Amino acid sequence: MLRTSWLLAICSIVTISTVHANPSTLPSDPYVNSQHYHQQINTTAAWQEIRENTDITIAILDTGVDVDHPDLKANLVQGYNLVQPDKPPHDDHGHGTATAGILGAVGDNGIGVTGVLWNAKMMPIKILDNKGGGDAGRVAKGIRLAVDKGAKIILLSLGDPIYSTEMEKAIQYAEDKGVLLIAATGNDSSTVSYPAAFPTVLSVSAVDAYNIPLSYANRGPEVDVVAPGHHIYSTAKDGKYAYVSGTSMAAPQVAGMAALLLKKAPSLTPLEVRMIIRASTEGVDTKGWNPNTGYGLVNVQKALSLVDSDPIDLYEPNQTIEQVASLPFVGQTQALIGKTDPVDWYQIELPYQGKFQLQTRSLTGKENVLQIEIYNGEKKKVSSGLNRWEGTLKGGTYHFRVMDTGETPSFPYHIDTSFSVGADPYEDNDTKAKASKVPISQQQLIRGTFHKRADVDWFVADYLWPGKLEVEVKTDTIRMDSVLTIEQVGKTIEKVDHGSVSNGQSERWSKTVDPGKFYFALQEYYGNAVNGQYELQIRYETSDTSAFRDIQDHWARTSIEDLVSRKMIQGYPDYTFRPNHNITRAGAAAVLQNVLQLPTSRATSTYQDLKKDHWVYSAIASLGERGIFKGVASERIFPDQPLTRAELAVLLYQARYGTEQPEQIKSKQEFTDVLRGHWAYPYIMKMAELQHIQGFQDGSFQPERQTTRAEFAVLVRNMWYPAQ
């Protein structure tokens, strides 16, 4: 576990062409034409109605702010420094000053840039140090401080992939006090960071000047909206200006937008502000909600126009399953339903098996009953409930139908969705005594989950031979900080914890080991339950060429081990050779390609049952070029069919002595079931004369009998590598 910086902005100083707005809507600030995002989100049009809000305080939890910046100073109120409490919230990094300028650089003052708010009351609270570092405890403390000091909006252009109970409680404290939180999703090309991932936080991702999502912007079910985040011109520390990029620069635009809404309608609740902002978006890449851009690009002017409108339904029309509206599988929203529009259809995509919950409640204060029905991907009804549905579902697509059961006119209702990943197939393996047994193989892949707090997953394997053991852990979300413990019973215990955001929270361990019992334990560093999945990959390569568990007392052991050591033939990943299993025509071809050291063939097979992706395609083609291996029929070669003893005699003779049919057969031995007219007669008789093969005690050869892997190995060794 390597802690990473909380700071999320990707800052750069570059030059871009400016976008010129309508002069009649612009302030006198000289760099406003470089602020293309004002036109992109329709701030310039909104300014004709509202430009400021000094009735509320907006807290900026960041690296501090350049409190002496001439373009910010007039819009700042007393701030606080939680990094060094005895000092002012001075910005020694630059990130906080950039976010403050986007939100509330003084407008129409004849210098610099213009914030979304021309006049504002911004409260800087420094919770990040000069490297952008911080911790969840300080963020939580900053949120509570902002609430207690009277802030109505809190801007959090920061984040961490790891869940924190302390932070969640602080966020709920703000929501309970009627304070709106707005946060950036993060710039890790991964899952949404916290606090943006909490359902009551308005989560903001970013697009460029052409409304294309930033490639590095985090995405997922928590994304609410997007705003411009590429080459944003803003204030910089030491009284300067600079271009900055990242989701951190998109979030302040939405915070300013929220402040304009509260200026027009001060009584709006945080949920109502979130709904208006979502409802006023413009679709970016798809209609409706999606995990890349949420509900779409914010539109300040449109949002202001919705304040005085009737209740909003983001999802209409969705009266039929063909009109289904997408919902994130975690989050909060609201819609309308009633007598004239009694049915709403929604769709969710679950990434894993787990427990899903959808809960509805009327926002009228009355006991309106809504029926919920759930349908699977085949649109078959799975279950139903009243006002609430909860159950375990497999990963996949599901449809929910919400129906009004009464005669009430149209009314708003709240929708709350939540999901928690399910237990993996290896549970219950929470203790060493309950460790799940890992099959012995060259490579084993285990997919697991941390489905509950303090979950520890134990696995055990017995390695019978010395060799190289490699263990790797990967996660599909950087929210999961896995810790790997490896114990060889009676010898060593090692803990591996090198995961970080930069390496995708992966862990790696490799060592040459002696035979013994090994335990592998995986746990989440913070003990969190995480909606995600890990992959535990165990690779084991023995250095013992005789390490087949099923040939120790076998009559063909010497021949098998000799061919394996020469890399002519292989066993199976579970360290078995399966000597008494039949060898297929494909398997025989693969061995002979190795024995004859044939290069990869470029020939094209004409056999209908041998596709290019067949594992033995090259071997059969190489042998076929030399006339050694032919089909059973003209159009088919039946590669997966067992090799008969007759085919064995022909194949090995041709591979060892040439493809000409043997003519001078001196042997007087005859087999009762191989007559002179048999298609393989000359080959069988010549191989018997050379003492490579023999018949059975009853005088038969049994040409159609299938050949075992042991028999084939012995013959190949005797013909090509006879014992000295």
Whether 295 and 250 map to the same domain: the answer is yes
Number of domains in the chain: 4
Q: From the CB of residue 250, how many other CB atoms can be counted at a distance below 10 Å?
A: 31
248 is catalytic: yes
Whether 532 and 572 map to the same domain: the answer is no
Indicate whether 316 belongs to any domain: no
Q: Which residues have C-beta within 8 Å of that of residue 497, sequence separation ≥ 6?
A: 1, 483, 484, 507, 525
Residue at token pair 């989560």: 203
The number of CA neighbours under 13 Å toward the Cβ of 282 is 14
Whether 251 and 163 map to the same domain: the answer is yes
Are 162 and 530 in contact by the 8 Å Cβ rule? The answer is no
Are 251 and 182 in contact by the 8 Å Cβ rule? The answer is yes
Are 478 and 197 in contact by the 8 Å Cβ rule? The answer is no
In which domain, by residue range, is 499 found? Answer: 432-542
Whether 407 and 458 map to the same domain: the answer is no
Which residues share a beta bridge with 206? 227
What pLDDT shows up at residue 20?
37
Mean pLDDT across the stretch 692-700? Answer: 90
**Which of 306, 329, 349 is where one domain is finished?**
306
Q: Is the pLDDT of residue 23 over 60?
A: no
Give per-residue pLDDT as tens, 213-223: 999 999 999 99
* Cα distance between residue 277 and residue 295, in whole Å: 9
Whether 220 and 171 map to the same domain: the answer is yes
Mean pLDDT across the stretch 305-317? Answer: 86
Between 48 and 615, residue with greater pLDDT: 48
Q: Token pair of 182, please?
A: 């707005």
Per-residue pLDDT band at 620 (split at 50, 70, 90): confident
What pLDDT shows up at residue 141?
97
What pLDDT shows up at residue 6?
52
Q: Is the pLDDT of residue 664 over 80?
A: no
Between 15 and 686, residue with greater pLDDT: 686
* Cα distance between residue 551 and residue 577, in whole Å: 7
Between 610 and 692, residue with greater pLDDT: 692
Residue at token pair 């252009």: 157
Per-residue pLDDT band at 708 (split at 50, 70, 90): very high
The number of CA neighbours under 13 Å toward the Cβ of 667 is 19
Whether 580 and 674 map to the same domain: the answer is yes
What pLDDT shows up at residue 8?
46
62 is catalytic: yes
What pLDDT shows up at residue 10?
43
**Which of 496, 516, 542 is where one domain is finished?**
542
Indicate whether 313 belongs to any domain: no
Q: Is the pLDDT of residue 473 over 80?
A: yes
Question: Across all residues in the chain, what is the average pLDDT?
Answer: 89
What pLDDT shows up at residue 625?
84
What pLDDT shows up at residue 546?
60
Indicate whether 132 belongs to any domain: yes
**440 DSSP assignment:** P
Q: Is the pLDDT of residue 480 over 70?
A: yes
Strands 456-463 and 482-488: unpaired
Between 8 and 569, residue with greater pLDDT: 569
Q: Token pair of 330, please?
A: 């975690």
Q: Which of 691, 692, 705 is nearest to 643 (CA)?
A: 705
What pLDDT shows up at residue 211?
94
Q: Which of 486, 421, 413, 477 is nearest to 452 (CA)?
A: 421
Whether 227 and 109 map to the same domain: the answer is yes
Q: Token pair of 382, please?
A: 């799975």
Are 292 and 306 in contact by the 8 Å Cβ rule? The answer is no
Q: What is the CATH number of the domain that holds 363?
A: 2.60.120.380
Give per-residue pLDDT as tens, 491-526: 889 999 987 777 778 899 999 988 899 999 999 999
What pLDDT shows up at residue 550?
84
**Which of 306, 339, 368 is where one domain is finished?**
306
Can you list the pairs that 628-635 forms with residues at least 24 positions away whose Cβ atoms lie under 8 Å? 628/592, 628/654, 628/655, 628/659, 629/585, 629/589, 629/592, 631/607, 635/606, 635/607, 635/608
Whether 402 and 439 map to the same domain: the answer is no
Q: What percent of the chain has pLDDT over 70?
A: 95
Whether 373 and 504 map to the same domain: the answer is no
What pLDDT shows up at residue 632?
58
Indicate whether 17 belongs to any domain: no
* Cα distance between residue 557 and residue 440, in whole Å: 21
Q: What is the CATH number of the domain that holds 43?
A: 3.40.50.200
Per-residue pLDDT band at 409 (split at 50, 70, 90): confident
Catalytic residue among 34, 157, 203, 248: 248
Q: Which amino acid is at 633?
A: A
Can you list the pairs that 261-265 forms with residues at least 24 positions away whose Cβ atoms lie under 8 Å? 261/303, 261/304, 261/307, 262/53, 262/55, 262/56, 262/152, 262/153, 263/50, 263/52, 263/53, 263/55, 263/56, 264/49, 264/50, 264/304, 264/307, 265/307, 265/308
Mean pLDDT across the stretch 649-660? Answer: 92
Strands 325-326 and 343-350: parallel
Q: Which of 293, 324, 260, 337 is nearest to 45 (CA)?
A: 260
95 is catalytic: yes
Q: From the CB of residue 348, how many other CB atoms can be counted at a distance below 10 Å?
A: 22
Weakest mean pLDDT among 33-37, 438-442, 576-580, 677-681: 438-442
Per-residue pLDDT band at 544 (split at 50, 70, 90): low
Indicate whether 85 belongs to any domain: yes
The secondary element (H helix, E strand) that includes residue 273 is helix 270-279
Give per-residue pLDDT as tens, 182-202: 999 999 999 999 999 999 999
* Cα distance between residue 684 and residue 680, in whole Å: 6
What pLDDT shows up at residue 262?
98
What pLDDT shows up at residue 9?
41
Phi–psi pair at 147, nearest 5 degrees: -60, -45
Give per-residue pLDDT as tens, 337-383: 887 889 999 999 999 999 999 999 888 777 778 889 999 888 888 88
Whether 635 and 654 map to the same domain: the answer is yes
What pLDDT shows up at residue 379?
80
Phi-psi map region of 294: left, alpha, beta (phi>0 left; psi -120 to 50 alpha) = left
Weakest mean pLDDT among 101-115, 149-163, 611-625: 611-625
Indicate whether 351 belongs to any domain: yes
Distances (CA, A) of 389 to 313, 333, 386, 442, 531: 21, 16, 7, 45, 20
Indicate whether 604 belongs to any domain: yes
What pLDDT shows up at residue 601?
74
Whether 127 and 212 map to the same domain: the answer is yes
Assign 3-class secondary structure to 22-63. Answer: CHHHCCCCCCHHHCCHHHHCCHHHHCCCCCEEEEEEEEEEEC
* Cα distance between residue 368 and residue 13, in whole Å: 55
Longest dimension (CA), the chain: 115
Whether 70 and 207 map to the same domain: the answer is yes
* Cα distance between residue 59 and residue 121, in whole Å: 9
Indicate whether 567 belongs to any domain: yes
* Cα distance between residue 647 and residue 586, in whole Å: 12
Q: What percent of the chain has pLDDT over 90?
A: 65
Catalytic residue among 36, 38, 62, 436: 62
Give per-residue pLDDT as tens, 229-272: 999 999 999 999 999 999 999 999 999 999 999 999 999 999 99
Per-residue pLDDT band at 395 (split at 50, 70, 90): very high
